Structure 1
């Protein structure tokens, strides 16, 4: 490969990804000749592997199964069905099909095409990564719907094949059939209205949000401070079996069992330590994360602040209880300690959301968005349909001419559209008291974090209302979450958190001529919660 070869590729490139790559090289001052030299080095023969069977050398097997390691030099692998034989690789970004045959019949994908779709599914397994400022779990995709985000490339896999439209259609069908792709997708464009960009609120306004931080555990001195169960039950397997005749009047009396209480530390320090060693959670370094004042494993076993107060009610036959073997005691200890470890992790979260909310400038936070949404057969029928084009006349509204709605359109669910209509109907009353009113759809613009454990929430909407005729401009910021009926119970934690905001949120930034009120609203649901929401809405805004 030469610089001239890359120039031809650059001139002919129609792929946005390739165009962006060449633009990046230009910005960094990397010449095509230097790039070609680097590619020749990166993909030199010693950095490529051919693997075709499980009988390959042990050295090859090690290289193939350690591709995520930084020290692994391999950049390309030539394989026949290797991905279908249990090979698990996460940092795979390109698959190249080196043949051009088809096995579909009458448009129905054949075995080979299905196999290739499954190969793509395996190759597309997610490479976990964490972004600064984005608290989506490392193993969850972050940009599926955000087509404009440059980091989306980190989540993409490219499948290269010869230009064969019929094959591509068949492969697409196979990807849908295997559940790798949704049946339908739609790309939508949200644009911030030019008129909104002319307002003072765009120039000087802010959204107040909190942060997620590591929870301070310095005040945790023992198990009793985090509500850990101190008394546990364990039933021994008696091995007793009996036969009874259903129609006989008399029944054979079951072998009687008794219950006896044991203090965990009385099982012996060495036995409890052995049980702890069987559970990774109880490594001393990990325990110190939860209990900063813990001095040693011995202290954890013997101190009244930790395991010394744990009681176990063991149920079994009298003979079993009188002659508990060390093996049985070990099984009991491991079972109870495993329960305690789960309680500790549940009751002592790693993160918390700050109660101090800080401003994000509107003009830097609110952006035009291009989103990709999946439309499944079970989806809300309104989802992905423009509000100006819906055939449901009760939901139809041309938002392009509504100055109070920040974006030019709304493609949300029926509940989201009902919420927008609700705000639209409330405008006459709102405008009597407020000089400016803006409803912003949170198109992955920001997150809030639950105070107790830092769990992330993206409220669907924020309503801003600026009060009239006050010495200081009082700006209300209402976080609003429309919710389908099937999610009201499942997402109740989100509603509980939103309701905490009004009392718990603090704003420490002082503005000479502005004051702020942050309010989290109860869920909006047109048929089940509208009355409750309307009452809370009127109360929050005093209308």
Structure 2
């Protein structure tokens, strides 16, 4: 009987999708909004691009006219494990304090471990994990972080951010309790606050059987909603990496509340994580333990000997049951204690024979490293010292137990494993560390099997927690190299395989087929890209000798448009930024509450009136409250500004002739506005102006001038490693990265002998091959070139082979430029035709739509293209995105451009040039 494959449900998140569209909309009045300096300067870690984007999306919900009448109060940040959710929280706290006046924040989570860790993150300036800068300052005033242990103050002190930390269990119990120094629901009704709910997947009951755990979730969920509705201005911001969208109830709950998603596959693809490799052997637990210790020491020694870097790799031994974990701990201690030079040498020889390179190339490197040493006594001595019982943490005690981690002081050690003063190398655990454990130098996770009082049949099935733990261990461990610290992987394309040791997490397991099958399913579900630890050297990609002999290789050129710096002298007034001050001076100010407006069945009638009685004092007061309009900051964007007095003058604000107008509800009497309301309107005006200035200030832009770069200098042999992933099959990144080295020796029109490409790109090459004879009827030379990003990596040339926007008013501004994946070169006696081609799967097309629009713009503005060289007959064109679904249309477009026919095989000529 044939099994029908079920298509994975397409997930729609209305709010997130709307915000993505709004972010690309140049008509969005908040377009160009950048993360404020007060956030960047007050955070310990520079926000990553996706964290900045998440805060920008949140800003839209708070400030964009799109959300004027429906400000969402409950929002979910669905962020990958290890992507810095608490850093994001810290940024949001600063934003809400400065922009919205929130001073009270309530942090809640379901475990004491995460609670204690977050207290350190957000309040303990002495901790290495503190996420704010020690001198927290906004608008020139020092800001204090105050941990609240009881009630929030009725009247918060100026320049103070109050944060109360409480477990969800305690919070739920306290809400309906009247007692001294305990905040009941009645007390919370007096407090305007933001609720920060971490590990929020614990607060949603599923559609499954309502057992005790599910009923507890219902209770917690009700508590959070009670707090949200206790005050009309309260916000509930939820954070988690783990939401089960296969559960219909959970999907329906959050589909319109997710404000931002940053998935594990994106996290790994963008190199913010370690790579993850699985090592599956037929070893015993004891052999696995010793192999991992040897690998850990090899990792440490390689970093020191090769790069002069001191790292302390940590190993986690993961068991399914507590008694098994303790047994493994004892077994480990006995193994280290009994290790001798003779037993180690015998082990290395045996393992090198029994563990194949297909099972683990990395272990083979480690075994070889030790076997080449004449004296193993130093190795044994270092292992006994580095992995002694004093260097082992056992994390199995419960939070409430008499010997819990929190009580014994080991909790701090567990959350500071990267510290040079922390000597722990090994952690034994069951489930304690799957959430909230901040560790960067975890490099090996070892699954312990078949130990304990009994074999648990659930052992092979309980892989979700293992997958979560792998995701947590994949956090990147930054290190300094050539006096530079990188927070992203550097060695993905390194010729030296051993360098990958510093950027790879290894998950060690016995070769149990059912367990491995279940684990891979769990990794798939999380979109966590992993692969086996087999040998994977970079592949040499070479130009064909036959192509190097052609005239097009010897004398031909590749054409890309030039960029130009925008000189500071260009920015002499606001018009140079594309700002029409008369249009900007119309400010919308609606006094109705958004609840009333949103629930109203009738459209609101508006009117626009001039705002009188606004003198310079309002403008100066408003500017004094804004970081952006401080002279030293404003000068970054207005390089020709001489002084703030100059800013008020005719070249800039022209305050003497500036008239603000305000759009309000029809019944509003503008003349009755209070001084505070007038100041708020001026604030809104300056917020709009700041956004427009930042959007209009560019350092460089594309031009319509195209430069030819000699093919002999820019098309070269290169090396590239094939990404080794076999999980995360449902993610767009997996589909994009599932590549192979495809030989194209049979296609004489393909310039390289082979190419590392995905299925969509291979389909494109084959589609062109089907029509190569027809193209050659009109062109003596026809060559297809794969323009790989590795081709000129590490050289200045790589930036030259990029197309840049040069449209007057693009729908979406993008300054980075891009390199289309393929170039089709066609040459006959009359002209030289270069066609840019970009294969793009539908799942990625919308995100990169600006690229397709640029290619179309080139086609539609041929008369505007200028060539730097004195050349005749050079034509530059571009195709729309190619994929399997639109293959026919794109091939028709190619026929129209190259053959002046409506399609291949046709006889009707079109006049295109």
Residue 427 of structure 1 pairs with residue 786 of structure 2: no
Residue 439 of structure 1 pairs with residue 784 of structure 2: yes
Residue 114 of structure 1 pairs with residue 114 of structure 2: no
Aligned twin of 2:53: none
Q: Is the partner of 2:824 in helix, strand or coil?
A: strand
Aligned twin of 2:505: 157
Match of 2:692 among 343, 357, 367: 343
Deviations 1:181-219 (A, max 9, x none): 4999xx999875785467325985787476998954512
Alignment partners' CA distance in 2, 1:32 and 1:506: 67
Q: Is the partner of 2:575 in helix, strand or coil?
A: helix
> How many equivalent pairs are there?
499
Aligned twin of 2:623: 273
Aligned twin of 1:173: 521
CA contact (8 A) 2:587 2:681 kept: no
Alignment partners' CA distance in 2, 1:130 and 1:263: 58
Gaps of 5+ in 1: 133-137, 389-397
TM-score by length of 1: 0.65
Aligned twin of 1:78: 427
- Deviation at 1:426? 3.7
Deviations 1:280-331 (A, max 9, x none): x5565554332222345665566751584583515255456423232x3454
Aligned twin of 1:325: 675
Q: In structure 2, do the counterparts of structure 1 residues 182 and 73 end up closer, same or farther at CA, with 3 Å as the change threshold?
A: closer
Q: Is the partner of 2:899 in helix, strand or coil?
A: helix
Alignment partners' CA distance in 1, 2:384 and 2:737: 48
Q: Is the partner of 2:722 in helix, strand or coil?
A: strand
Q: Is the partner of 1:528 in helix, strand or coil?
A: helix
Alignment partners' CA distance in 1, 2:369 and 2:710: 32
Q: In structure 2, do the counterparts of structure 1 residues 341 and 149 end up closer, same or farther at CA, with 3 Å as the change threshold?
A: farther
Residue 64 of structure 1 pairs with residue 422 of structure 2: no
Alignment partners' CA distance in 2, 1:301 and 1:56: 62
- Deviation at 1:528? 3.3
Q: How does 1:481-496 map to 2 (within 5 A)?
A: 481-483=838-840, 491-496=848-853
- Deviation at 1:456? 3.8
Aligned twin of 1:527: 888
Deviations 1:450-493 (A, max 9, x none): 2454324232212234556x9xxx86543222456777666442
Alignment partners' CA distance in 2, 1:505 and 1:37: 71
Match of 2:572 among 221, 229, 240: 221
Deviations 1:333-372 (A, max 9, x none): 4444444444334333455458546457356355566355
Q: How does 1:257-406 map to 2 (within 5 A)?
A: 259-261=609-611, 266=616, 268-277=618-627, 281-282=628-629, 286-296=633-643, 300=647, 304-306=651-653, 308=655, 309=658, 311-315=660-664, 318=668, 321-326=671-676, 328-349=677-698, 352=701, 356=707, 358-359=709-710, 361=713, 364-367=716-719, 370-372=722-724, 376=729, 399-405=744-750, 406=752
Q: Is the partner of 1:276 in helix, strand or coil?
A: coil
Root-mean-square deviation (CA, aligned residues, Å) is 6.1
CA contact (8 A) 1:261 1:314 kept: no
Gaps of 5+ in 2: 1-296, 302-340, 400-404, 792-800, 807-813, 901-909
Alignment partners' CA distance in 2, 1:343 and 1:101: 64
- Comparing 414-423 with 491-500, which one deviates more in the overlay? 414-423
Alignment partners' CA distance in 2, 1:424 and 1:64: 59
- Deviation at 1:117? 1.0
Q: How does 1:107-146 map to 2 (within 5 A)?
A: 109-110=461-462, 113-125=463-475
Alignment partners' CA distance in 2, 1:114 and 1:426: 50
Alignment partners' CA distance in 2, 1:338 and 1:168: 55
Q: In structure 2, do the counterparts of structure 1 residues 439 and 529 end up closer, same or farther at CA, with 3 Å as the change threshold?
A: closer
CA contact (8 A) 2:478 2:487 kept: yes
- Deviation at 1:230? 2.1
- Deviation at 1:276? 1.0
